[in-house]
């Protein structure tokens, strides 16, 4: 997998999946030179039929993957969700992102929300505002990234970039 220390200029794309709101954030660079390449939210109209919404989301994700050309895709993994509708929505959006990456031979890394919070804030139980504040600080942004979906996507990319060297060293050692 990608080692950001050897090639810090190559982008990492984070995706916070959802059908109504899908956050994305691409970063590149290393240490104090890490910077945001692009970030935002892909929105779909809840009044449209689900297949139409998924088709639009797939098109937007495909365009994003082509534009950013990330070296790796970091996607939030849902381990447990009390709300079945939310779990289905996140799963469907996540599947579209994973399929888009697979069609382009882009490696995928998945992280649970707690893993991301721990990597970014030092506390796995951090709230949304704490994540937004730390993402803004790490990326030297003038304000908190909003909505939280954007902060979560940037946090996913930061989480992967910060841990890739350790993971790669472990993989080489085994």
Indicate if 62 belongs to the active site: no
Q: Where are the alpha helices (DSSP H) in 10-83?
A: 50-68
Peptide bond into 147 cis (omega under 30): yes
Beta bridge partners of 14: 25, 74
Indicate if 48 belongs to the active site: no
Among the options 7, 16, 48, 62, which is catalytic?
16
Indicate if 152 belongs to the active site: no
Among the options 48, 149, 152, 168, which is catalytic?
149
Q: Beta strand pairing status for 108-111 and 12-16? A: unpaired
Among the options 3, 76, 115, 127, which is catalytic?
76
Q: Which residues are marked as active site?
A: 16, 76, 149
């Amino acid at each position: 997998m990608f080692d950001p220390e050897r090639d810090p200029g190559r982008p990492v794309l984070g995706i916070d999946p959802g059908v109504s709101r899908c956050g994305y954030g691409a970063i590149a660079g290393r240490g104090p030179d890490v910077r945001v390449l692009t970030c935002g939210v892909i929105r779909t109209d809840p009044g449209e039929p689900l297949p139409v919404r998924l088709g639009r989301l797939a098109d937007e994700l495909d365009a994003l993957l082509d534009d950013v050309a990330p070296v790796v895709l970091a996607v939030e993994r849902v381990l447990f969700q009390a709300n079945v509708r939310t779990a289905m929505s996140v799963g469907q959006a996540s599947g579209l992102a994973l399929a888009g990456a697979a069609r382009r031979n882009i490696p995928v890394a998945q992280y649970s929300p707690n893993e991301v919070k721990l990597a970014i804030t030092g506390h796995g139980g951090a709230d949304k505002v704490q994540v937004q504040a730390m993402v803004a600080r790490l990326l030297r942004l003038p304000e908190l990234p909003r909505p939280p979906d954007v902060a979560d996507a940037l946090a996913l990319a930061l989480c992967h970039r910060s841990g890739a060297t350790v993971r790669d060293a472990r993989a080489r050692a085994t």
